[in-house]
Amino acid sequence: MHDITGAALEYVADERELTKGPYDIADAGEAAAAIDHYLRVRVTAAVARSAGRTVLQLSGGIDSILLATYVAEVAPGALAVTYSQHVEDPEVGRAAAVAKQCGLEHVIVRPTDEDFERLLARVVRALEFPEPWEISAGCVLEAIDGASHEHGAEGVLLSGAGADALFMGGHTVFPAAGESLVDAWDATLRANVSKNFKRERFVPDFYERLLDDPERHVQIWQTHAAVELAQRIHPSLVQPNDSSHDKYIFRKLAVDRGVPAEVAFAPKNPMQVSSGLVGAIVDAARRQLERDFGERTYSSPLQEQLEFTVARLYLQRLAGEERK
C-alpha cells in the first residue's frame, strides 16, 4: 500500500503494472469513510506544501463540489475559481452555491470574445498541438491560474482531476455475457489508468508549458493511493443498479457533508463541454472566417450551418497549401 502524499500528481502507469483489485469494500459506510480519509489526508498534505493562499478549481461537478467541502475545512481562506463561457450557466450557479455554503471566496472567470481569442492563441502557441480537448483544458487551467494570482492566491491549485478515470465519471460499465461487473469494472479502470495516468500523453510537458510552477497544480485523484482505494470499493457502490447517476458514492458523501441533494446529484458534462470551451472555439473560428472572407461569400460564417464552417476551414487550408 502506498502512502497518501501531497504530490502534484503521480504517474502511476509509468511506475508499476496494475493487477486486479480486491474490491473488498462492499459496505457503503465503510466506502464513504475510506474516501473521506483519503480526501482529508490528501488535501491536508497538498495544502501544507505552500504557505500561500490555496486555490480550488471549482467546476460545479461532483468531484470539485465534494473536494470543496474538504478544502473549506483544511484551508478555510482558500479561493474558489470557476471558468465559464456562458452568461447563464447552471453549473456556475451550483459552484457559487457550494462556495457560499463552504464559506469560500468565489471568483468566476468569464472572458470576453476578444480576451478568449487571445487566451486561445497563447495556449495554442504554448502547447503546439491543435487538439480541442487539450487546448480547452489548457485554456481553463491558464485562466484560473491567472485569476488566482490576480487575487493574491499563490498557494497550491487543487482540482478533482483523476476521479473520472477511477470512478467511471460519465460512463456506465456493462459486463459482457458471462462477465462479472467486478471484472468488467476492473478492466476498464486499469485501461483508464494506463491511458491517463502516464507522462507520455499527447503533450507530455503539458503543465510545464502552461504554468510557471507546474508543481503548483495538484490533481487530487492521480496518485497510487487513489488507485488502490478505487480498486477496493465495490463497483455496485459507485454504479448501483437503482440509480442512473455516476459516482453515486461521491454524491451520497457530499450530501452527508451538507451539500444539497439537488446540487450533488445534478448531471455534469466534461469540463471542456460544460465550461463552453469547445463552443467558444467554434464561435472564434466563425468570427475569424467572417474577417477572412468579408463579403466574398454567399452566406455569413457567423450564421451558417456548422458543416459549412468545417468545409470553409478545410478549403482554406487546401488553398494555403496550394500557395506554398
Q: Tell me: the pLDDT tens digits for 2-34?
A: 999 999 999 999 999 999 999 999 999 999 999
Mean pLDDT of 76-82: 97
pLDDT of residue 275: 64
Which residues 6+ apart lie within 8 Å of 215 measured at CB?
Answer: 8
pLDDT at 272 over 70: no
pLDDT at 277 over 90: no
Write out the three cell numbers for 278: 469547445
pLDDT of residue 213: 94
Q: In what order do the strands lie in the sheet with 55-57?
A: 105-109, 79-83, 55-57, 157-159, 217-219
Q: In whole angstroms, give the CA distance from residue 220 to residue 163.
A: 8
pLDDT of residue 324: 62
Which residues 6+ apart lie within 8 Å of 115 measured at CB?
Answer: none
pLDDT of residue 298: 87
pTM for the model stands at 0.91
Q: Is there a contact between 59 and 66 (Cβ–Cβ < 8 Å)?
A: no
pLDDT at 103 over 60: yes
Q: What is the greatest pairwise CA distance in the chain?
A: 66
Q: Report phi then psi at 77, rounded to 5.
A: -90, 10
Q: In whole angstroms, give the CA distance from residue 178 to residue 284.
A: 49
The ranges assigned to domains in the chain are 12-269, 294-323
Mean pLDDT of 66-76: 98
CATH number of 12-269: 3.40.50.620
Q: In whole angstroms, give the CA distance from residue 146 to residue 83.
A: 11
User: If you write DSSP's letter for every residue of 163-201 in order, what string do you get?
Assistant: HHHHHTTT----PPTT--HHHHHHHHHHHHHHHHSSS-S
Q: In whole angstroms, give the CA distance from residue 221 to residue 225.
A: 9
The one-letter amino acid code at 14 reads D
Q: Report phi then psi at 51, rounded to 5.
A: -80, -10
pLDDT of residue 270: 62
Which residues 6+ apart lie within 8 Å of 62 measured at CB?
Answer: 247, 250, 251, 254, 264, 268
Of all residues in the chain, the percent with pLDDT exceeding 90 is 81
Instruction: Give me the count of residues in the chain.
Output: 324
| pLDDT category of residue 271 using cuts at 50, 70 and 90 | low
Residue 215: CB atoms within 10 A of its CB come to 14
Q: In whole angstroms, give the CA distance from residue 197 to residue 106.
A: 30
Express each pLDDT in 128-158 by its tens digit. 998 999 999 999 999 999 999 999 999 999 9
Mean pLDDT of 38-64: 96
Mean pLDDT is highest, among 256-260, 275-279, 316-320, for 256-260
pLDDT of residue 295: 78
Secondary structure E strands in the chain: 55-57, 79-83, 105-109, 157-159, 217-219
